[in-house]
Every structure is written in C-alpha cells, then in structure tokens.
C-alpha cells in the first residue's frame, strides 16, 4: 500500500516534498507508511558541512550551491541540490530558528534548489534526530546532491560521519594552533578541510598546522585529505572545494555499507523506542513521587519503562 502523497512527491513536486518532510519530522499520521514506500536512491551523494560556530558554514554552503547548480549532471541537465540546515531549537515553539537558512536567501527562487531547516530539538550531536529520515526522503526525490549543515556545537558533531558520504570540516584561522585543533573531535572526521575567511592574518600558518596533524592520521592510499583555503563571501576557493568533494565521491562512491546501515537501523530503533517520552512527561511523574519517603531514581526509571 502506497502513501497518497507519494506519486506527486516522486514527480519532483516541491510542495509535495515539503509536505513529506513535515509529515516525517513531526511524525504525523501516515508518516511510517510514507517511509516504508520510499524508493530511496542511496547512490545520491550526501555531503556534511560541519565546524564550530562562526566559521562561515552557511555562507560557504550558499557559494557551494551556486557552483553545483552551475554544473550539469550525467543527463546534461543542471544539478538539483537539496540542503538540510539543522538550526538551534526555539525554546518557545520548539521549532527551528531559521538563522542559517536566511543566509541562503539568494537561492530561494532557484527551481533547482530545495532548502529545508530542521530544529535540533535537544539533539546533542549537532543534528536533528529526524535528519536521517529526511535525508532518505530527499534521496527518494532524486536530487543530484544533498548538503547537510550541522548546528555548530563542537566536538559532538562527529555524528555527521554516520549520515554523510563526505564530511567537510570548516575552520577559521582564529581556531588556534594545530595542537589545540587536534584535540577537537571534529578534526578526526574530515574528508576535506576548509580554512574559511583565509584572507585573515595567520591563515597560511594555520593551514600548515593542519597539514602537520594529518600526518598523525592513518594513511589512506586512495584519498589524500585536501586543505582548501576559501573566502566564501567573495566566492574564492569554492570551485576548488567543489572539485574536491566530487573527486571524493569518485574515489569513495556512495554504496551500501553493512556497518553504516546497521548504525542507521540502530538510530531508527532507538528513536522509535523513545517515541512519546519527553522530559516534560518524565517531570510530571517525578513531581508526584520524588518527595516521597524512600524515593529511588533508579527504581522510578525501571517503573517508568514498564508503562
């Protein structure tokens, strides 16, 4: 049985794609039926853009979109690009604050670009818990490239490697020397390094420092990790970055990987088990019991899980 939205969705109707994402993100009626019917194309490359706040990720992605959509796919048509911008959650509406998407305003009217913001909703890894499912929705819609921008929370952003085929780590010269950079978890996950705002003082020294740290990573004879200098606001270095990302796909093409698929399945099972459980829900029950004599948190949790 297929979902009634699926037919228009598969025809590339942007409104249908947006409705499908809303359905999935908010777990509205019929979302599991839709996910179960998706013809997901796992050969579509997914690029994760990560790095600390203030590195210029959104501006860089805007420049990447412009470069990618100026190029043609194997069918001779201009590339269609989807962007998932994971934004901080509003403490009032629990929705996305949309800050990153506003920096991509140049592409709002481009028919070859689809941009969607997702709220982290408390996720600590820089990604929304629903990001994986939204990516599969976009893969079924047959975009040529999918870009994910994480919220920019630091070391916990290593989660991006479980969702993206290629991980681009964006840094700025002020990020510190190579020893400090090596301590950050995100330094260990990059397939491509970008030193953005490289017109600032110390950029060359910082690039040299990153090259030094790369000697401490396991050698991969198929891929030599590039360190690319960009000034995204002036579109400098963006063509080189795009070439590097495409080259990485050619060396490491998106393919079915049992460990990656198992990781995805684990996340989906974990999310399903937690469905309907919120901090407010737990707090409501705790309020009634925590002041009782002999209260034990571990016993409370066991009892909560049985319900």
Report pLDDT digits (tens) over 294-305: 888 999 988 888
Answer yes or no: is 265 within a domain: no
Answer yes or no: is 230 within a domain: yes
pLDDT at position 98 is 47
Report pLDDT digits (tens) over 39-59: 988 889 999 998 888 889 989
Q: Which two tokens stand for residue 282?
A: 């737990």
pLDDT at position 125 is 43
Answer yes or no: is 285 within a domain: yes
Task: Examine the domain organization and report whether 3 and 64 are in the same domain.
Answer: no
Answer yes or no: is 70 within a domain: yes
Answer yes or no: is 34 within a domain: yes
Overall average pLDDT of the 30-36 stretch: 89
Answer whether residue 10 shows pLDDT above 80: yes
Q: Which two tokens stand for residue 259?
A: 């460990």
* Domain total in the chain: 3
Q: What share of the chain is helix, strand, coil (3-state, %, to 5)?
A: 45, 15, 40
Task: Examine the domain organization and report whether 175 and 289 are in the same domain.
Answer: no
Q: Which residue range(s) make up the domain with 26?
A: 1-38
Answer yes or no: is 269 within a domain: no
Task: Examine the domain organization and report whether 297 and 191 are in the same domain.
Answer: no
Contact at 8 Å (CB) between 170 and 57? yes
Task: Examine the domain organization and report whether 33 and 143 are in the same domain.
Answer: no
DSSP 3-state of 136? helix
Task: Examine the domain organization and report whether 241 and 109 are in the same domain.
Answer: yes
Overall average pLDDT of the 63-78 stretch: 94
Answer whether residue 136 shows pLDDT above 60: yes
Task: Examine the domain organization and report whether 204 and 133 are in the same domain.
Answer: yes
pTM of the full structure: 0.82
β-bridge mates for residue 297, sequence order: none
pLDDT at position 278 is 79
Lowest model confidence (mean pLDDT) among 57-66, 89-98, 135-144, 288-297: 89-98
Answer yes or no: is 28 within a domain: yes
Answer whether residue 90 shows pLDDT above 60: no
State the chain's mean pLDDT as an integer.
81
- Give the DSSP per-residue string, 205-230: HHHHHHHHHHTTSPP-TT----EEE-
Contact at 8 Å (CB) between 277 and 271? no
Domain containing residue 156: CATH number: 3.40.50.300
Closest listed residue to residue 36, CA positions, set 116, 136, 128, 129:
136
Answer yes or no: is 202 within a domain: yes
Q: Which two tokens stand for residue 87?
A: 């934004």
Task: Examine the domain organization and report whether 79 and 190 are in the same domain.
Answer: yes
Closest listed residue to residue 138, CA positions, set 225, 9, 298, 237:
9
User: Rounded to 5 degrees, what are φ and ψ at 114?
Assistant: -125, 120
- Residue recorded with tokens 């893969």: 139
Task: Examine the domain organization and report whether 188 and 76 are in the same domain.
Answer: yes
Task: Examine the domain organization and report whether 13 and 145 are in the same domain.
Answer: no
Task: Examine the domain organization and report whether 281 and 154 are in the same domain.
Answer: no
State how beta strands 192-195 and 113-119 pair: unpaired
Task: Examine the domain organization and report whether 4 and 140 are in the same domain.
Answer: no
Task: Examine the domain organization and report whether 148 and 292 are in the same domain.
Answer: no
CA distance 204 to 210: 10
């Amino acid at each position: 049985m297929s979902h009634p939205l699926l037919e228009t969705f598969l025809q590339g109707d942007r409104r249908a794609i947006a409705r499908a994402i809303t359905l999935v993100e908010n777990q509205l009626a019929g979302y599991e039926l839709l996910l179960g019917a998706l013809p997901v194309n796992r050969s579509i490359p997914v690029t994760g853009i990560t790095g600390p706040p203030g590195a210029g990720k959104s501006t860089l992605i805007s420049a990447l979109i412009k470069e990618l959509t100026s190029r043609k796919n194997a069918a001779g048509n201009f590339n269609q690009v989807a962007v998932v911008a994971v934004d901080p959650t509003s403490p009032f509406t629990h929705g996305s604050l949309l800050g990153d998407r506003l920096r991509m305003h140049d592409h709002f009217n481009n028919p070859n670009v689809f941009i969607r913001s997702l709220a982290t909703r408390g996720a600590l890894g820089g990604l929304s818990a629903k990001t994986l499912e939204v990516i599969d929705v976009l893969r079924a819609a047959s975009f040529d490239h999918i870009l994910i921008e994480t919220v920019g929370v630091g070391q916990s952003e290593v989660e991006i490697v479980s969702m993206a085929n290629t991980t681009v780590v964006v840094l700025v010269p002020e990020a510190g020397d190579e020893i400090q950079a090596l301590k950050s978890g995100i330094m260990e996950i990059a397939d491509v390094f970008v030193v953005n705002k490289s017109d600032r003082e110390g950029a060359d020294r910082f690039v040299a420092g990153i090259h030094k740290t790369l000697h401490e990573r396991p050698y991969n004879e198929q891929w030599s990790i590039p360190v690319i200098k960009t000034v995204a606001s002036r579109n400098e270095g963006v063509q080189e970055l795009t070439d590097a990302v495409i080259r990485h796909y050619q060396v490491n093409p998106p393919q079915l990987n049992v460990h990656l698929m198992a990781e995805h399945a684990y996340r989906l099972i974990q999310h399903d088990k937690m469905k309907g459980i919120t901090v407010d829900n737990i707090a409501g029950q705790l309020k009634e019991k925590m002041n009782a004599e002999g209260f034990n948190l571990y016993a409370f949790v066991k009892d909560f899980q049985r319900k």
